[in-house]
Amino acid sequence: MRYVDEYRDPELGKRLVDRIHKLSTRPARIMEFCGGHTVTIFKHGIRQLLPPTVEMLSGPGCPVCVTANAELDKAIALAKEPGVILATFGDMLKVPGSRSSLQQAKAEGGDIRVVYSTRDALAMARDNPDKRVVFLGIGFETTAPTVAASVLQAEAEAIHNYFVLPLHKLCPPVIKALLDSGEVRLDGLICPGHVSAVIGSRPWGFIPTGYGIGCVVSGFEPLDILLSVEMLVAQVERGEPKVEIAYRRGVKPEGNPQALRLMATVFEESQATWRGIGTVPQSGLKLREKYRSFDAEAQFQIDPGPTLEPAGCLCGDILRAVKTPLDCKLFRRVCTPEHPVGPCMVSSEGSCAAYYQYGADHE
Partner 1 sequence: MNEDTILLAHGSGGKLSHDLVQQTLVPLLSNPLLDRLDDCAVFDLSGRLAFTTDSYVVSPIFFPGGDIGKLAVCGTVNDLAMSGARPLYLTLSFVIEEGFALGGLKQIVASIREAAAEAGVKVVAGDTKVVNRGGADGIFINTSGIGLVPHGVDISGANARPGDKVILSGPVGDHGVAVMSRRQGLEFSVPVDSDCAPLNHLVAEMLGASPNIHCLRDPTRGGLVSSLNELAQQSGVGIRIEEARVPVREAVQAACELLGFDPLYVANEGKLVAVVAPEDAERVLAAMKGNRYGAQAAIIGEVTAQHPGRVVMKTLLGASRLLDMLVGELLPRIC
Question: Which residues here bind partner 1, judged by CB under 8 A?
Answer: 1, 4, 8-10, 13-14, 17, 36, 42-46, 48-49, 63-64, 89-94, 113-117, 119-120, 138-140, 142-143, 194, 222, 336-338, 348-349, 356-359, 362-363
CB-based contact 282:269 (threshold 8 Å): yes
Minimum separation from the CB atom of position 301 to partner 1 (A) = 27
Minimum separation from the CB atom of position 357 to partner 1 (A) = 6
CB-based contact 337:357 (threshold 8 Å): yes
If the CB atoms of residues 57 and 167 are measured against partner 1, the closer one turns out to be 167
What does the alpha-carbon distance between residue 193 and residue 215 come to, in Å, rounded to a whole number? Answer: 12
If the CB atoms of residues 49 and 154 are measured against partner 1, the closer one turns out to be 49
Sign of CA dihedral 247, 136, 166, 339: negative
Minimum separation from the CB atom of position 226 to partner 1 (A) = 8
If the CB atoms of residues 32 and 91 are measured against partner 1, the closer one turns out to be 91
CB-based contact 212:270 (threshold 8 Å): no
Question: Count of alpha carbons within 13 Å of 113, Cβ hemisphere only?
Answer: 18
Minimum separation from the CB atom of position 222 to partner 1 (A) = 6
If the CB atoms of residues 40 and 161 are measured against partner 1, the closer one turns out to be 40
Minimum separation from the CB atom of position 185 to partner 1 (A) = 26
Judged by DSSP in three states, 357 sits in: helix
CB-based contact 190:31 (threshold 8 Å): yes
CB atoms within 10 A of CB 281: 12
If the CB atoms of residues 192 and 241 are measured against partner 1, the closer one turns out to be 192
What does the alpha-carbon distance between residue 352 and residue 341 come to, in Å, rounded to a whole number? Answer: 11
Minimum separation from the CB atom of position 305 to partner 1 (A) = 26
Minimum separation from the CB atom of position 229 to partner 1 (A) = 12
| Residues in the chain, total | 363
Judged by DSSP in three states, 162 sits in: strand
Q: Distances in Å between the alpha carbon of 59 and those of 7, 103, 175, 208?
A: 23, 27, 9, 18
If the CB atoms of residues 289 and 338 are measured against partner 1, the closer one turns out to be 338
If the CB atoms of residues 2 and 185 are measured against partner 1, the closer one turns out to be 2
Residue 295: closest CA among 305, 308, 286, 303: 286
